[in-house]
Amino acid sequence: MFKRLPGDETRNLVTTTPDTAVVFRPAVIRTPAILTLIIFAWRLLAALVRLLWRHPIAMLATLTPGVLTLLYGWQTALLLTAPIPAGLAAWALTHRTSFVHLIGWRLLAWWRLVWVYRRHWQPVMIVSGLGRHLWGRDYLPRLGKVTCTAWADLVAVRMLKGQSVKDWADRLDHLAQGFGSASCRVALSRGGRLTLTFPRHDPLAERIPAIPVPDSPTVEPVEIGKQEDGRPWLLKVHGTHVLVAGATGAGKGSIIWSTIRGLLPAVRAGLVEIWALDPKLMELSYGRALFGDRYAATPEDCADLLDQTVNVMQKRAARFAGVQRSHTPTVDDPFVLVVVDEVAFLTAYQADRDLRRRISAALATLTTQGRAVGVGVLAALQDPRKEVMNIRNLFPDKIALRLDESEQVDMVLGDGARDRGALADHISPIPGLGAGVGYVRLETSPDPIRVRAAYVSDTDIRAMADAFAAGEDA
């Protein structure tokens, strides 16, 4: 077994055979000093060229005053360079939005790259196990461009050969703590390249008030809250089915009532019908006037209402067969949204076996055949286990609010969702901080999106019900 020794220790190594006095000394090759100086000079020149290539504006702003001072003196240099910072300051004061968008985020990204990520890159990679130190040399993933947004840093990374996304997903906590962030999310941008998201602050920490009722009726995706990047959260209900899972007090009612609030003008125009199942009698009963005779609370009534919905769906499918493949809401054929507050109470915890079988069969029929003919299901539950909700895979769009266990995240959003940063089990149980906060995984995207639903209070719900009953604008 041979072992490489560092530095000049090899010159002190002496090897003898047991039967002779012959001494073997390894040859030591001395590098000429001029060759060492040439190598150092070449590396310095390459580093300067790389620095100029990566940060041309920053290097130009740094070198220009010095060059002007050497050529023309400090008075001329000050006279020529002073208008630039003065103009930037005036720009920042008069039109802050454009300045931050074009200059501010770029300066912050450069500072974060130099002071946070590049400075700590080597130790974080080695300690977390994403880099290797072999034979005195570090093999590290390559740090790329850093982009700053209003709430997070987006760091581009080129993985080492042989690494996978899961290698990085298993070390999200190491990365977050190593770079001083509360969390970290990983997304595959293209082959061999990742984008790491490090939030600088939480834009969803404050409760969002109820979204105003839309002015015009529509069945397009309705605004029910805000995404983490500041854009409105638009929830699609027509042409899909939505499953909402969350522990008690996680904010499932906020999603349900925000959706109903966004569809209220379309309900009044006759383009949407909302059929409500409220087995707990604690959520949808506040706005019972919005549903009319399409409201059920007892298990028997819920089963009958679901059977009626299936009957409507099948009759509509018979009329659409061979005529149209997708549904367009009209007064004659409105979009039917079935809202179930606690679906597990009807499908798993129902003592009557016949009722449980009827309800499960009706829900399975609606979720497998209802999308094309304009029948959607919005279901909420607390326990996402398979034995509790055995048709959860029939819901294309899923929302995970605060959950009790980390394994439940993948149960709701699908395999690998938590590894991609959907930390629904880390959401705060304090209502003011975590109620309505969750992660959405859409049918068209594997990456979870962090969102927060607007809070619709009891007063808002009663005002909606009173205004709808009176035929006024809510």
- Could you tell me which residues are annotated as the binding site for ATP? 246-253
The amino acid present at 14, given as its one-letter code, is: V
On whether the CB atoms of residues 184 and 426 are closer than 8 A, the answer is: no
Between the CA of residue 393 and those of 182, 378, 386, 403, 443, what are the distances in Å? 31, 14, 10, 18, 11
Geometric angle at alpha carbon 184, from 181 and 186, rounded to 5°: 155
Between the CA of residue 93 and those of 29, 61, 107, 206, what are the distances in Å? 64, 21, 17, 28
Name the nearest CA neighbour of 14 among 22, 240, 6.
22
Name the nearest CA neighbour of 437 among 450, 423, 426, 446.
450
Pairing mode, strands 137-139 and 242-245: unpaired
Distance CA 139, CA 243 (A): 44
142: enclosing H helix or E strand: strand 142-148
Binding residues: 246-253
Give the DSSP letter string of 47-94.
HHHHHHHH-HHHHHHHHHHHHHHHHH-HHHHHHHHTHHHHHHHHHHHH
